[in-house]
Amino acid sequence: MSTWIRAFGVSLSPTTFAEIEADPSLMHAVADGVAHNFDGTVPPFPERAQWFLVHERGEVVGCAGVQREHPRPGEATLLTVAIAPERRGRAAGTKALLAAERKLLRDGASRMLTRVSRTNGHGLYFMLRCGYVPVPVEERPCDEPGWEDTTWFARVPPAVLR
């Protein structure tokens, strides 16, 4: 297993969305990113997304998706960080978000943004707890089809993440 980043007690290793789709627990976690216990069709992710399995203590606990050069050149977007329901409660999602941010900033991104569906109260609160704030309306990126009803978040990362 190759590792994309190891930090904060988690590691992220490259995978494919097909591998994530094959795991019902991970897909349940991805669907929870739309709304808690969402049972509809998950909106499509960009074709250029990079996918990662989140490992904690050597076990797969979730997944994450990122897109570089999005929404604008030099920026990166965390498309999802999803922890399997049976693996929640140990801050793996927070650790994975911070690890992805660290890696993207080290690789040259000027900042990492993320978006959360407005129907996902847990996700909105999660981003605030992680130090992210809503992007002002005048800076808000345009959303792709299926993601129009989202709140974009960003933060100025502390120097320790660089």
What pLDDT, on a 0 to 100 scale, did the predictor assign at position 118? 85
Token reading at 101: 């941010």
What pLDDT, on a 0 to 100 scale, did the predictor assign at position 79? 93
What pLDDT, on a 0 to 100 scale, did the predictor assign at position 28? 92
The label of the residue with tokens 């795991």 reads 23
pLDDT tens digit at each of 162 positions of the chain: 699 999 999 999 999 999 999 999 999 999 988 877 788 888 888 899 999 999 999 999 999 999 999 989 999 999 999 999 999 989 999 999 999 999 999 999 999 999 988 888 889 999 999 999 998 877 777 766 666 778 999 985 454 444
∠ CA 116-120-123 to the nearest 5 degrees?
60
Helix axes 121-129, 92-106, angle to 10 degrees: 60
For the chain, which domains are there? 5-161 (3.40.630.30)
The label of the residue with tokens 């994530």 reads 20
What pLDDT, on a 0 to 100 scale, did the predictor assign at position 107? 96
What pLDDT, on a 0 to 100 scale, did the predictor assign at position 146? 62
pTM as predicted:
0.89
